[in-house]
Amino acid sequence: MDLELKNNGVLVVGGAKGIGHAIARQFALEGADVILADIDPRVHQAATAMADNACGNIRSVILDATDYQAVKTLAGELNGKDSNLNHIVYAAGVGSNKFGFPFWKMEPSDWPFVLEVNLMGAVNVAHGFAPRMQKCGAGSILFIASIAAQMGSQTDPPYSAAKAAIVNFMQVVAKDFARHNVRANAISPGMIQTTLNKSVWAAWNERQSEEDKRDYKDWADEKISKICPLGRWQDPDDIGKMAVFLASQAAKNITGQTVNVDGGIIMHS
């Protein structure tokens, strides 16, 4: 299916690796112009590699999304040059690298950094690009949330709370942008073996008692087969494909929604 995203432009924040990178790649495969933004300088190599197989223009920029001034500066720079920029994806994220179960095993001081990147970074980007999105005529904003948002995950409580807040804020964004024909949605990925997921799960595995402790890979694969009805990990490209669909006119009546791409882990009955 041609999603007709050629001549569209997308900014993917958190695009150097993992899910954000896969989202950017799917936009590139659709022929869109892509700007990868990330705090990690390796974003430049990631963009160069992506440009080899893309027909659209692929660029990269270093951005710390928690720095609102830097976000506003980028929005200002892109205003003149990138007249076709009409999709924004916020895929940057971090875990605390700590482990709850119960929550008091963490400290309140473990929270601010996690909220800063996962929530305030997204808020900064929405604010910084709001003037542009109001003028673009037709566009979308996508937030990468998590199924943790819907289950009060004990694994990393500040992460879970930040993701719940993002889902809520996304609905505000959807309501406020609707009259400008800009849609806002969230994708909640299930379990994807990225750097972030491995750091959280490795911390979890470390907490097993010595006699129960097993090789991380065996333990994690067995866990997935138990918690996921489809019995498998999700892939970054699963999220990328949903992202381009949500940005396209095939989803022109979808706004304010959270789509779980999670192999059925979350099912509300």
Ligand X SMILES: NC(=O)c1ccc[n+]([C@@H]2O[C@H](COP(=O)([O-])OP(=O)(O)OC[C@H]3O[C@@H](n4cnc5c(N)ncnc54)[C@H](O)[C@@H]3O)[C@@H](O)[C@H]2O)c1
Residues contributing to the site for ligand X (CB under 6 A): 13-14, 16-20, 38-40, 63-66, 91-94, 117, 121, 144, 146, 189, 191-192, 194-197
Minimum CB distance to ligand X smaller for 196 or for 246 = 196
- Which residue in the block uniquely carries the two structure tokens 């940005």? 247
For 267, the token pair is 């099912």
Q: Please, which residue, 180 or 198, has the CB nearer to ligand X?
A: 198
DSSP state of 234: B
Q: Closer to ligand X at the Cβ: 20 or 128?
A: 20
Angle, vertex CA 117, rays to CA 115 and CA 120, nearest 5: 70
| Closest listed residue to residue 201, CA positions, set 189, 212, 215 | 215
State the nearest-atom distance from the C-beta of 9 to ligand X, in Å: 19
d(CA 181, CA 170): 15
Tell me whether residue 144 or residue 182 sits nearer to ligand X (CB atom). Answer: 144
Q: In whole angstroms, what is the distance from residue 44 CA to residue 188 CA?
A: 27
Neighbours of 151 (CB within 10 A): 14
Q: 3 or 142, CB closer to ligand X?
A: 142
Which residues on neighbouring strands pair with residue 242, listed in sequence order?
none
Q: Which residue has its beta carbon closest to ligand X?
A: 18
For residue 137, the minimal CB distance to ligand X (Å) is 27
**Least distance between ligand X and beta carbon 64 (Å):** 5
- Calpha distance 168→149 (Å, rounded): 10
Instruction: Tell me the closest approach of the beta carbon of residue 7 to ligand X, in angstroms.
Output: 26
Shortest distance, position 191 Cβ to ligand X, whole Å: 5
For residue 212, list its beta bridge partners: none
**Nearer of residues 18 and 128 to ligand X, judged by Cβ:** 18
Q: How far is the CB of 69 from ligand X (least distance, A)?
A: 13
In the complex, what is the shortest distance from the CB of residue 255 to ligand X, in angstroms, rounded to a whole number?
Answer: 20
99, 186, 263 from 190: Cα distances, Å: 18, 13, 7
Query: Of 197 and 255, which has the nearer Cβ to ligand X?
Result: 197
Strands (E), the chain: 9-13, 33-38, 58-62, 85-90, 139-144, 182-189, 258-261
Element spanning 1, H or E? none
